[in-house]
Structure 1
Amino acid sequence: MAASNSVRVAAAQMTSFDDIDANFSTCSRLVKEAVSAGAKMLCFPENFSYVGGLSGDSLLIAEPLDGPIMQKYCSLAREYGIWLSLGGFPEKGHDDAHLRNTHVVIDDAGNIRSTYSLMWMFLEEQYTKKAALQNQVILVPAAFTRVTGQAHWEILLRARAIETQCYIVASSQAGKHNEIRESYGETLIIDPWGTVVGRLPDRLSTGITIADIDFSLIDSVRAKMPIAKHRKPFDFWRPASE
């Protein structure tokens, strides 16, 4: 059981397909596992609800957030009393030719509490801005390709944890979705010192990893290395002549 100054979270790893019902069944099973392990929040990877076989397939199944797909996940969160991080969902855009890749956070009563249109994770400036606001946990739902994942995934995540002094909860798609698409996997939870504190036994299996977010550790790391206080505006580095 998590200590009073901590909260238990779970990160899911899965292989989504072009079958909305099958993916929901997998997510339901992982929710049950997370609840049994005492997690208060379960974080799913990008494309948790659907991965199409052809370019443009996601447009065909895109729905508004009050549509039947997302409402099933709201009901799932309410039934099991757990917060869900769902990123990213193919949210219907302003017409049939557009959609948003939307990260949705649902509370344990089944209410949508937050949405965010996903950005490319290499935008490191976005992470430092979040840290400046004194966030404690950063969620990274992903579907990295096998090649880029092998080269960059873990090292980028650990660097982000160290420089932001936040926990990183990085949920990833894993394995072959179809004949043309494959994801790297390797779902991780990383503490603010850059230590991996949650990892599945292998990078391709479907399952969850559990870790306790220790708020006292966050405070300790930030007290010993007060990065936020030392951060300067971007124009600090301009030559004096400008």
Structure 2
Amino acid sequence: MTRIAVLQMTSGIDPEANCATIADAARAAAGEGAAMMFTPEMSLLLDRDRKRAAAHIVSQDRSPFVPRLAALAQETGVTIALGSMAVRHEAGEKSANRSMLFAPGACAPVTYDKIHMFDVDLASGESWRESNAYAAGQAVVSVEDTPIGRLGLAVCYDIRFPALFEALGNRRCDAIAVPAAFTRPTGAAHWHVMLRARAIEAQAFVIAAAQVGRHEDGRETYGHSLVVDPWGEVLLDMGGEAPGLGFCDIDLGRITEVRAQVPALANRREIAKS
């Protein structure tokens, strides 16, 4: 068994305060024997006021938080899967919604830029145009050697696009991180069923750290950070009311059991495009 920690947050508009929350959680995770900690999408800054947020968004190599999180992983011995943070994109004027994986002793984080942009108009009246400010990522990313095996990276809205998870399943990922800041309406309708479906399809653990509650910028997020096993069983659900740190023990042997019982990955066939 490998113990992981899942940090459910109500991130605000002050990156320093959010970073302090992550640091306290990492130290608590280490104290409880966790080998990895997962945080939500936009852990360090959640602010829909783009003019106000812009003052805090810099390139990855200029961010003060990247070396601090690397040092935190080294200090605690906990691999930190930062759900994402906003950084200025290396090409062009837009930003990137970037996941970062900090391993103790690593010289630089492994990164993944969110591929699918959340451009929607909801029946509740909420309207979001992520592509106005963020450049879409282009690459599927998995990390070979983590405490829970090969880890695939995705972010929030990516969950609605099975092709990405098919690609991660074809890489035989043992686990897939899906950090999120889901809205309440879409979360109530789709969050649990989609995460369970993605775990079943990829025959992998899915670990989804989420934002929760009412935030300083006025938005409300769904919460319910989940850990789902390869059979689709929910091992951890942190609810939709409050932030906090949850723990789950991962049995990697479960992956072999599920893939032997229903060898869907081995039986997968290429479907000709019309």
Q: Which amino acid aligns with 2:199?
A: A
Using the TM superposition, give the Cα deviation of residue 170 of structure 1 relative to its aligned residue in structure 2, in angstroms: 0.2
Q: Which has the larger radius of gyration?
A: 1
Give the match's secondary structure for 1:84.
strand
Give the alignment of 1:1-242 within 5 angstroms: 6-66=1-61, 67-94=63-90, 97-109=93-105, 111-119=107-115, 120-178=158-216, 180-200=218-238, 202-235=239-272
For residues 33 and 88 of structure 1, what CA distance do their matches in structure 2 show? 21
Q: Which has the higher contact order (CA 8 A, sep 6+)?
A: 1
Aligned-residue CA RMSD in angstroms?
Answer: 1.7
CA contact (8 A) 1:59 1:90 kept: no
For residues 53 and 225 of structure 1, what CA distance do their matches in structure 2 show? 43
TM-score, length basis structure 2: 0.80
For residues 163 and 194 of structure 1, what CA distance do their matches in structure 2 show? 9
Q: Which amino acid aligns with 1:191?
A: D
1:86-133 CA-partner distances (Å, limit 9, x unpaired)? 121111124783111100000022543410001332111110111111
Using the TM superposition, give the Cα deviation of residue 179 of structure 1 relative to its aligned residue in structure 2, in angstroms: 5.0
CA contact (8 A) 1:65 1:71 kept: no
Structure 1 residues 30, 110: closer, same or farther in 2, change over 3 A? Answer: farther
Give the match's secondary structure for 2:179.
strand
**Greater displacement, 209-218 / 140-149:** 209-218
Structure 1 residues 56, 131: closer, same or farther in 2, change over 3 A? Answer: farther
Structure 1 gap segments, 5+ residues each: 1-5
Q: Which amino acid aligns with 1:109?
A: G
Give the match's secondary structure for 1:46.
coil
Using the TM superposition, give the Cα deviation of residue 151 of structure 1 relative to its aligned residue in structure 2, in angstroms: 0.6
The number of residue pairs the alignment matches comes to: 231
Structure 2 gap segments, 5+ residues each: 116-157
Using the TM superposition, give the Cα deviation of residue 64 of structure 1 relative to its aligned residue in structure 2, in angstroms: 2.4
Give the match's secondary structure for 1:61.
coil
**Greater displacement, 28-37 / 139-148:** 28-37
Using the TM superposition, give the Cα deviation of residue 63 of structure 1 relative to its aligned residue in structure 2, in angstroms: 2.1
Q: Percent same amino acid among aligned pairs?
A: 31
**Greater displacement, 51-60 / 218-227:** 51-60
